[in-house]
Structure 1
Amino acid sequence: MIQTLFQVALGGALGASARYLAGVAVMRQFGSPVFPLGVITVNIVGSFVMGALVVFLGQKGLTHWNAFLATGILGGFTTFSSFSLETWRLMTEGRYDLAGLYVGLSVLVSILALIAGVALMRAVLA
């Protein structure tokens, strides 16, 4: 268990660093756009890599790399890749109802939670 935790932590640090560098690269290339181009780029790239990775690791019998590569690196790079993977998993199981619910709740409730967090902290700091 501790070895797996270390793999996730190391991968997460690498993934988060890669996310930061990708954001810097996008900003240097395109300036500081109003649209969050760096975030969407990372989300799309991370989701693509997650899809390719889970198939590759599964077919090659290398699933022991999941903690480091998928949860760690890609999880640190973008949690959206994990969100996309879980949505796809539900869809491939024919659970389109749960996939739709998962997508809707994830987006809506996360935005509402962010708004609540902002409101709470503004009230606390007022």
Structure 2
Amino acid sequence: MRQPPRPLFVVAAALGGAAGALARWGVDQAWPAGTGFPWGTLTINITGSFLLALLPAFATVRRHPVLPVLLGTGVLGGWTTLSTYANQSRSLIAEGHGGTALTYVATTLVACVLAVRLAHVWSSPAAQEEFEAEEGNE
């Protein structure tokens, strides 16, 4: 039987998620997608992928059980947005901008994978070895 999450984890995820969602809302307000290319959402998802992949490089984050929940699940979970990405892609296709939609989908996928790779490269070899020893990539 699975244990319910500890209240501190729930609070950390909720507060972090609220902070991430508010930050994303701010970007959406400053850089609305409109009928053009959704640069704001693209930027949000690339930076979120990079930062989420970089989190395990920090021993402090790995060793404090609340920090991954607060920063990863919470802040970066609220910051990134698969649903908006999917909806904007659908809207572009529905509005007759299939080429733009395809460019958006492909650019997001490639850029996010490259961002994760860059985060790995920026992690120190010692941090990578420690993460592997903790079975982080299993």
TM-score, normalisation: structure 1 = 0.54
Give the total of aligned pairs: 83
- 1:86-112 C-alpha deviation (Å, 9 max, x unpaired): xx9xxx65xxxxxxxxxxxxxxxxxxx
The one-letter code of the counterpart of 1:9 is A
Does residue 5 of the first structure (1) align with residue 7 of the second (2)? no
TM-score, normalisation: structure 2 = 0.49
Which stretches in structure 1 are left out of the alignment for 5+ residues?
Answer: 94-126
Structure 1 residue aligned with 2:22: 17
Within 5 Å, which residues of 2 pair with 1:1-126? 1-27=6-32, 32=34, 34-57=36-59, 61-79=63-81
Please identify runs of 4+ aligned residues in structure 1 that moved more than 4 A: 57-60
- Tell me how far 1:5 sits from its aligned partner: 0.5
| Pairwise CA RMSD | 3.0
Percent of aligned pairs with the same residue?
36
- Relative to structure 1, the CA distance from residue 59 to residue 8 in structure 2 (aligned partners, 3 Å threshold; closer, same or farther) is closer
Structure 2 residue aligned with 1:113: none
Which stretches in structure 2 are left out of the alignment for 5+ residues?
Answer: 1-5, 83-111, 121-136
